[in-house]
């Protein structure tokens, strides 16, 4: 990943970013909350929102737990957690780094620590089975690794190992549909606006205002710069009824954004969109990191849940109380597993 000459600020990509995008070590993205209001209103630029506000929105567990999360959100604001710098954080849900980036992440973190910023420092999207050494190095700098969410992986690097019945039905339905599946490497303004509208229908209006509120400029920049491509589903009239933004790093594929028109004909347009993503992944023998959310849907189609961590380091404080508080939270959560979060609806 390296900076591209987009010429657009983060606020032109995300309406609710509340942050700016900087580059460290030449090509390492870092989001830094803006000195001016508004505060971040998106979980991508605010782990506080991801842990508490977004979780409270999505929680299927007891009402008292939902209220507790909202109370913790207010506490996190009070201790200044909304003011942050997030290392390695390109403004998408799931950042993937090849191991050669570990040293850059550590160097950027050390540099920010030495600047004694009055901000919390974060590193998102850490998986113990992939980033064990990086987690150890960050903890050596004073970071605390806290459970963030459950992400779901479809490992198709060795082809299909098994095909659950739900997946088989989805693939069969896609074959029988009259939808045209294609990969777009460039898009125009109208296509970008259509993608933004489909994305907004699902991520913002259906799910949560704490998702990234992307603009058409974001979709056009990501695809036309060749950083990402677009998997498009078109109906017989030639209208885009669903899409998935695809981002490949090494042999790992992520889907930073998708959208669909729920009134489109067929047995379930999301099922057909997922089937097309699965076929794309299988054809190229990749590992699909399908992010978090819709856990039951993903598990029924063969996904494996993984507990993802966010590393956090508190700024200096009187008697180092903020760091002590984080260490206490770390000890209280160190035995949490993906199964624990799945039981709460992850």
What is residue 210's predicted lDDT score, i.e. its pLDDT?
95
Return the beta strands (E) in 83-224 as ranges: 84-87, 120-127, 144-155, 180-184
Which run of H or E residues covers position 277?
helix 269-284
Which residues are 260's β-sheet partners? 242
Answer whether 271's CB lies under 8 Å from 262's CB. no
Answer whether 284's CB lies under 8 Å from 41's CB. no
167 and 278, same domain (yes or no): yes
Q: What DSSP state is assigned to residue 50?
A: I
Cis peptide before 79 (omega within 30 of 0): no
In total, how many domains does the chain have? Answer: 2
Answer whether 159's CB lies under 8 Å from 287's CB. no
* CATH classification of the domain holding 235: 3.40.630.30
Number of H helices, E strands in the chain: 13, 11
The answer to whether residue 1 is domain-embedded is no
What is residue 7's predicted lDDT score, i.e. its pLDDT?
75
Residue 54 belongs to what domain range?
A: 10-150+307-343
The answer to whether residue 30 is domain-embedded is yes
266 and 333, same domain (yes or no): no
Distance in angstroms (rounded) separating the CA atoms of residues 327 and 325: 5
What is residue 56's predicted lDDT score, i.e. its pLDDT?
80
Per residue, the 3-state secondary structure of 250-272, as one string, reads: CCEEEEEEEEECCCCCCCCHHHH
90 and 138, same domain (yes or no): yes
- Helices 216-224, 189-199: axis angle to 10 degrees equals 120
- The alpha carbon torsion through 43, 48, 52, 58 (nearest 10 deg) reads 10
139 and 203, same domain (yes or no): no
Which run of H or E residues covers position 161?
none
Q: What is the pTM of this model?
A: 0.93
63 and 186, same domain (yes or no): no
Residue by residue, pLDDT tens for the chain (346 residues) are 445 657 789 999 999 999 999 998 888 999 999 877 777 789 999 999 999 998 887 766 677 777 888 898 889 989 999 999 999 999 999 999 888 899 999 999 999 999 999 999 999 999 999 999 999 999 999 999 999 999 999 999 999 878 999 999 999 999 999 899 999 999 999 999 999 999 999 999 999 999 999 999 999 999 999 999 999 999 999 999 999 999 999 999 999 999 999 886 666 999 999 999 999 999 999 999 999 999 999 999 999 999 999 999 999 999 999 999 999 999 999 999 999 999 878 8
Distance in angstroms (rounded) separating the CA atoms of residues 101 and 165: 39
206 and 328, same domain (yes or no): no
Distance in angstroms (rounded) separating the CA atoms of residues 337 and 332: 12
- Class of residue 125 by CB neighbours under 10 A (exposed 0-12, middle 13-18, buried 19+): buried
134 and 248, same domain (yes or no): no
The answer to whether residue 293 is domain-embedded is yes
The answer to whether residue 172 is domain-embedded is yes
The answer to whether residue 3 is domain-embedded is no
The answer to whether residue 233 is domain-embedded is yes
Q: What is the DSSP track for 109-133?
A: HHHHHHTT-SSEEEEEEEETTTSHH
Distance in angstroms (rounded) separating the CA atoms of residues 13 and 217: 6
56 and 116, same domain (yes or no): yes
188 and 292, same domain (yes or no): yes
Closest to 50 in 3D by CA, of 263, 270, 293, 290: 293
* Residue 309, phi then psi, degrees to nearest 5: -115, 155
Distance in angstroms (rounded) separating the CA atoms of residues 274 and 56: 26
Distance in angstroms (rounded) separating the CA atoms of residues 268 and 172: 12
């Amino acid at each position: 990943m390296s900076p591209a000459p987009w010429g657009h600020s983060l606020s032109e990509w995300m309406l609710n970013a509340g942050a700016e995008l900087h580059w460290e070590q030449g090509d390492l993205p870092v989001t830094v909350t803006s000195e001016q209001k508004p505060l971040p209103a998106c979980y991508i630029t605010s782990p506080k929102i991801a842990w508490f506000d977004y979780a409270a929105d999505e929680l299927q567990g007891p009402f008292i737990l939902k209220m507790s999360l909202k109370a913790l959100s207010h506490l996190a604001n009070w201790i200044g957690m909304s003011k942050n710098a997030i290392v390695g954080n390109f403004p998408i849900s799931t950042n993937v780094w090849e191991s050669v980036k570990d040293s850059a992440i550590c160097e950027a973190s050390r540099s920010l620590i030495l600047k004694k910023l009055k901000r919390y420092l974060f590193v998102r999207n850490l998986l113990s089975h992939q980033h064990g050494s990086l987690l150890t190095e960050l903890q050596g700098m004073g970071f605390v690794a806290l459970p963030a969410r459950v992400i779901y992986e479809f490992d198709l690097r060795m082809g299909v190992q098994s095909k659950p019945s739900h997946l088989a039905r989805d693939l069969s339905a896609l074959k029988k549909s009259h939808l045209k599946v294609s990969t777009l490497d460039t898009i125009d303004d109208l296509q970008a606006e259509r993608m933004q509208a489909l994305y907004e229908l699902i991520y913002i209006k259906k799910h949560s205002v704490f998702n990234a509120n992307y603009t058409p400029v974001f979709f056009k920049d990501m695809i036309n710069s060749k950083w990402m491509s677009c998997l498009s589903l078109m109906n017989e009239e030639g209208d885009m009824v669903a899409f998935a933004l695809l981002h490949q790093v090494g042999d790992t594929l992520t889907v930073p954004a998708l959208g669909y028109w729920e009134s489109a004909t067929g047995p379930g347009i999301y099922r057909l969109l997922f089937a097309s993503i699965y076929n794309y992944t299988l054809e190229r023998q990749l590992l699909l990191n399908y992010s978090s959310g819709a856990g039951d849907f993903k598990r029924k189609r063969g996904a494996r849940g993984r507990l993802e961590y966010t590393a956090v380091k508190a700024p200096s404080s009187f008697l180092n109380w903020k760091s002590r508080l984080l260490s206490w939270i770390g000890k209280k959560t160190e035995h949490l597993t993906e199964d624990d979060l799945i039981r709460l609806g992850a």
